[in-house]
Structure 1
Amino acid sequence: MSRKIWVFDTTLRDGEQVPGAKLNLYEKLEVAKQLKKLQVDMIEAGFPSSSTGDFNAVKEIAKKVGNSDDVIITALARAANTDIDAVYHSVKYAENPLIHIVLGTSDIHLEKKFGKSKNQILDIGVDAVKYAKTLLPDVQYSTEDASRSDFEYLWETIEAVVNAGATIINIPDTVGFAEPEEFGELIFKINDRLKNLNDQVLLSVHCHNDLGMATANTLAAIKNGADKVECTINGIGERAGNASLEEVVMAIHTRPKIYQAHTNVNTREIMNTSRMVSGFMGLDVQVNKAITGENAFAHSSGIHQDGLIKSRDTYEIINPIDVGLDDMELVLTARSGRHAVKNAFEKLGMDQFTNSEFEEIFTDFLELADAKKEVYNHDLYVIIENYFKKHIRNDQDTNHYSNNFYELIDLQVISNTKFPSASVELKKADQIIKGSAVGSGPIDALYSAIMDVCDVDMKLVQYDIRSVSRGREALGKVKIQVEFQGETYIAKASDTDILKASAYAYVNAINNIVVDHLLPIK
């Protein structure tokens, strides 16, 4: 029988503890609204006693996001009445408010952080729960650093706070010290005793990723009786981060027989949520990160592409649509095999060539792929046309498609504090077209100049640049996301000159739109 696992998202509290990831009120509200669309069960909206700004943000989230009974709004408090008051007065506006109290239980925390005895800390925790219960019926108690605590003292604490009224017991692996077998055994022992003590109390876990095992530890806990998991979007959080919500949820979703559990999470909102959090916090998602990484559903190996074309399940255990993507991506590179390249041509309606013709076309493809790293659909059109021109064939099926594509010839960008400006020179068919523009910055000016000469009314949604190599000849990689007629296009380019890379990426996006919308109909 499948049991429900409660999903508690702490992106706005633990996730925001990443240096430089602070959000303003508007951004916090937008993330909270998106988390509600994701259908998490609980949102930890912040740490109200830390600042007036955080208090107000939690209060607004409670009012505007917690205004229905389908999500619980909570916030963190230390085991002190002033902290508990701050949580209560900020979350009380929600339909389902919860007070979350945290206090250490390990010898390290008791002796070195608090300088108090076990009995003293136990009494502080019990008093805190009793006080919180006078304010709200639902109270979560977190035994900080539980994975390094003496088990019998940890259990003594749990028993005492449950008797004092705690409705959720959270077991944190605060410093990511545990490993799955060990953590699973700990949860099994606590769950066995807790269900005998009070089977209405939820058992929760909160795992950190210092040794790279946060997701594994969380899943081990579920196998051993945990009712609730605490996670963050993209696995962000203090130090090496927290258990990744999307990884935990999709593991349960993909292997239901193993975990015999399910969540209420709307998995198709995972990518939207990931991109929003990444964009607002300015934290890039690791390209090969599970589920939300740029390459998580991208395939460039010829062997893999061949298998996927024959049957999706050869190399794909998750349908990209299930996490909010349109489909998998077969990236055409020099590693792509003949089958993948031929399939790409066929999708564009170009399959009227013999085996010997294709072999020569494939050689041209490899030559371009070595030079460009990635080959786009518009490049395939150009390859075909160049092939027929080379063989003195004016094949009407090509319709001179290359006449519709833009090629960057030259650019000049001036960056200053008053009038950043740019001039560009592009080629379309045999025509050289030039444009210039000013902007709020050098990239804005560059893109405005390109738009000035290209008849494509698109909107830049996201611009991202990063270094992918080191040294004087460091390679910069630019990735952009644009919208055209309600559709989203993503394009990339790399160059040692970041302005060139930016321009190439933009032109690639324009040419992708040309392929889909503006080519003459055959």
Structure 2
Amino acid sequence: MTKKIWVFDTTLRDGEQVPGAKLNLYEKLEVAQQLRKLQVDIIEAGFPSSSAGDFQAVKEIAKKVGNTDDVVITALARAVKADIDSVYNSVKYAERPLIHIVLGTSDIHVEKKFGKSKNQILDIGVGAVKYAKTLLPDVQYSTEDASRSDFEYLWATIEAVVKAGATIINVPDTVGYAEPEEFGELIYKINHRLKNLNDKVLLSVHCHNDLGMATANTLAAIKNGADKVECTINGIGERAGNAALEEVAMAINTRSSIYKAYTNINTKEIMNTSRLVSSFMGLDVQVNKAITGDNAFAHSSGIHQDGLLKSRDAYEIISPVEVGLDDMELVLTARSGRHAVKHALEKLGFNQLTETQFEGIFEAFLELADAKKEVYNHDLYVIVENYYTQHNSQKEDLTNYRGHFYELMDLQVISNTTFPSASVSMKKGDQILKSSAVGSGPIDALYSAITDISDLEMKLIEYNISSVSRGKEALGKVKIQVEYRGEKYMAKATDTDIMKASALAYINAVNSIVVDHLLPVE
């Protein structure tokens, strides 16, 4: 028998506590709309008593995102009347509002943070729940720092607030102190008692990642009776972050026979949600992060690529399509083997190559890969054409592939506060093409000039810069995503000159579009 696991997303509350990740009202609404598409069960929209702006954001989300009965809208309150009123007055516009109250239960919190006795804290919690129940029928109570609490006191608190009317009990590993075996045992003991006390009350967990075990602890809790999990997109959050929603959801989805559970998450919206949150919050996702990292479904090792081409399940337990990506990505680098390069060439239509021809082309590929790091499809066309030209080994009317691709010759970018501009010189076959443009900033001007030369109606969706080395001669990597005729294209480039890297990445995207839409077929 499988049971539904409720997914509570706290990206807009706990996730927004990351320094520098503050969102404005428009951005919060956009993220909340996307979370609804992702089909989370509960959105924690903020901490309304913290500021007038956060109160307004929660209120707008309740009105515009919580206006249907397919998602619950909540916000956080401390166990004080003013906070509870603030939550109520902001979430009450939702079809399904919920008040979330938090109060510590560990000795460290009770004695050192609050300076009160355990009985006093317990009474405060009960009073808060009773007051909240006069406002709304659904109240969640979080026993902050539960994993470091005395168990019998923790249970006494849970029992008291359930009797006071709490409909969800949340057990946080607030500082990421727990490990899976002990956290699973804690949840098992609480679940056993809670189901005997009131089997209508949901048991929830909220795990932090200070020791890198947030997802593992969350999954251990599910195996031991948890009904609900609290997560964030990309695992963002206070300090080292929270359990990553995408990791928990895909673990349940992939290993459902182990967890005997399911979620309502629309997994095909995972990447869209990840990229939106990353872009708005300015927080890059580490490239090797599970599920949402750039390399999570990219294969560059020749051994892995060979195995994947023979059987997908050799090195792939999740199809990238399941999380909203295109199909398997074989990244062509100097580590790619013959099988992967031959596969890429065949996909481009070069499936009649002799062994001698392929070996010559593969040698040229390795030489370019050593210099360029990553080889694109348009590079393969040029490699093939160069080989044919040098060996006079193909028919005379061979398509001039090189004549359709763009190459950067030179650029000049002027950055200032009043008139940012850029001039670009590019080569297309034997033509030298030039353009200049102004923009809202230097990158906008640069990309406008390149777009003018290519004459393609491209839309820049994502632009990211990161450093891949240290020191004065540091290499900067630019990663972009563009849209053309409804299709999205990712491209990257690396250079010590970040403007040059930006131009090269954009031109790589242009050439990818040429391959898909504008290259003549023989």
If the length of structure 1 is used for normalisation, what is the TM-score? 0.99
Q: Is the counterpart of residue 101 in structure 1 residue 92 in structure 2?
A: no
Paired with 2:448 and 2:89, the residues of 1 have a C-alpha distance of: 48
CA distance in 1, matches of 2:435, 2:75: 53
| One-letter amino acid of the structure 2 residue matched with residue 51 of structure 1 | S
User: What does residue 21 of structure 2 align with?
Assistant: 21
**What one-letter code is carried by the residue in structure 2 that aligns with 1:55?**
F
Match of 1:91? Answer: 91
| Amino acid corresponding to residue 326 of structure 2 in structure 1 | D
Partner residue, 1:212: 212
Indicate conservation of the 8 Å contact 1:74/1:91, yes or no: yes
**Count of aligned pairs:** 522
Task: Tell me the equivalent position of 2:187.
Answer: 187
2:352 maps to which residue?
352
Shift of 1:463: 1.1
**1:172 paired residue number:** 172
Alpha carbons 1:305, 1:330 under 8 Å: kept: yes
Aligned pairs for 1:72-471 (under 5 A) are: 72-395=72-395, 398-471=398-471
Q: Assess if the C-alpha contact under 8 Å between 1:420 and 1:438 holds in 2.
A: yes
Q: Mean alpha-carbon deviation: is it higher for 6-15 or for 424-433?
A: 424-433
Root-mean-square deviation (Å)? 0.9
Change over 3 Å in CA distance of 1:333–1:46 after alignment to 2:
same
Task: Give the residue type in structure 1 aligned to 2:319.
Answer: N
Aligned-partner SS, 1:126: helix
In structure 1, give the amino acid aligned to 2:160.
A
Query: Would you say the 8 A contact 1:384–1:398 is kept in 2?
Result: no
Judge conservation of contact 1:382–1:402 (CA < 8 Å) in 2: yes
Q: Offset of 1:119 from its aligned partner?
A: 0.4
Name the CA distance, whole Å, in 2 between partners of 1:201 and 1:54.
Answer: 29
What secondary structure sits across from 2:412 in the alignment? Answer: strand
1:68 deviates by: 1.1
- CA offsets per residue over residues 281-339 of structure 1, 9 Å max, x none? 11111111000111100000001001111111110000111111111210000000000
| Cα pair distance change 1:485/1:397, threshold 3 Å | farther
Q: Partners of 1:396 and 1:488 in 2: how far apart?
A: 35
Alpha-carbon distance between aligned partners in 2 of 1:23 and 1:304, rounded to the nearest angstrom: 40
Q: Deviations over 1:199-218 (max 9, x none)?
A: 11100000000000000000
The SS at the match of 1:99 is strand
CA distance in 2, matches of 1:419, 1:389: 45
**Contact 1:40-1:265 within 8 A present in 2 as well:** yes
Provide closer, same or farther for how the CA distance between residues 282 and 327 of structure 1 changes in structure 2, counting only shifts above 3 A. same
Instruction: State the alpha-carbon separation in 2 of the partners of residues 28 and 472 from structure 1.
Output: 38
Structure-1 separation of matches of 2:103 and 2:470: 44
SS at match of 2:100: strand
Alignment deviations for residues 387-434 of structure 1 (CA, whole Å, 9 cap, x no partner): 011112453574111110011111111212222221111111111111
Mean alpha-carbon deviation: is it higher for 343-352 or for 412-421? 412-421
Q: For 2:311 and 2:89, how far apart are their aligned partners in 1?
A: 55
Is 1:388–1:395's contact at 8 Å kept on the other side of the alignment?
no
Query: Residues of 1 paired with 2:356 and 2:177: CA distance?
Result: 60
Which portions of structure 1, spanning 4 or more consecutive aligned residues, are displaced by more than 2 angstroms? 392-398
Alignment-derived partner of residue 45 in structure 1? 45
What are the superposed Cα offsets for residues 324-380 of structure 1, whole Å, 9 maximum, x if unpaired?
A: 111121000000000000000000001222111111110000000000000000000
CA distance in 1, matches of 2:129, 2:273: 33
The AA in structure 2 aligned to 1:303 is I
Query: Could you say which residue in structure 1 is the equivalent of 2:512?
Result: 512
CA–CA distance in structure 2, aligned partners of residues 11 and 77 of structure 1? 16
SS in 2 for 1:499: helix
Amino acid at match of 2:224: N
Distance 2:377 2:114 in 1: 62
SS at match of 1:109: helix
Cα separation, 2, equivalents of 1:451 and 1:39: 37
Which consecutive unaligned segments of at least 5 residues does structure 1 have? Answer: none
1:484-495 → structure 2 map (5 Å cutoff): 484-495=484-495
Compute the displacement of 1:455 (Å): 2.4
Query: Offset at 1:257?
Result: 0.6
- Percent identity of equivalent pairs: 82
For residues 233-263 of structure 1, give each alpha carbon's deviation from its aligned partner in whole angstroms, at most 9, with x where no partner exists.
0000000000000000000000011000000
Can you give the 5+ residue segments of structure 2 that lack an aligned partner in the other structure?
none
Q: Deviations over 1:451-506 (max 9, x none)?
A: 22222221111111111110111000001111111111111000011011011011
Correspondence for 2:8: 8
CA–CA separation in structure 2 for the residues paired with 1:65 and 1:296: 31
TM-superposed CA distance for 1:152, in Å, is 0.5
Secondary structure, counterpart of 2:462 in structure 1: strand
Q: Which moved more, 1:459-468 or 1:243-252?
A: 459-468
Going from structure 1 to structure 2, the CA distance change for 1:394 and 1:55 (only over 3 Å counts) comes to same
Superposed CA offset, 1:148-200 (max 9, x none): 00001000100010111111000000000000001000000000111111111
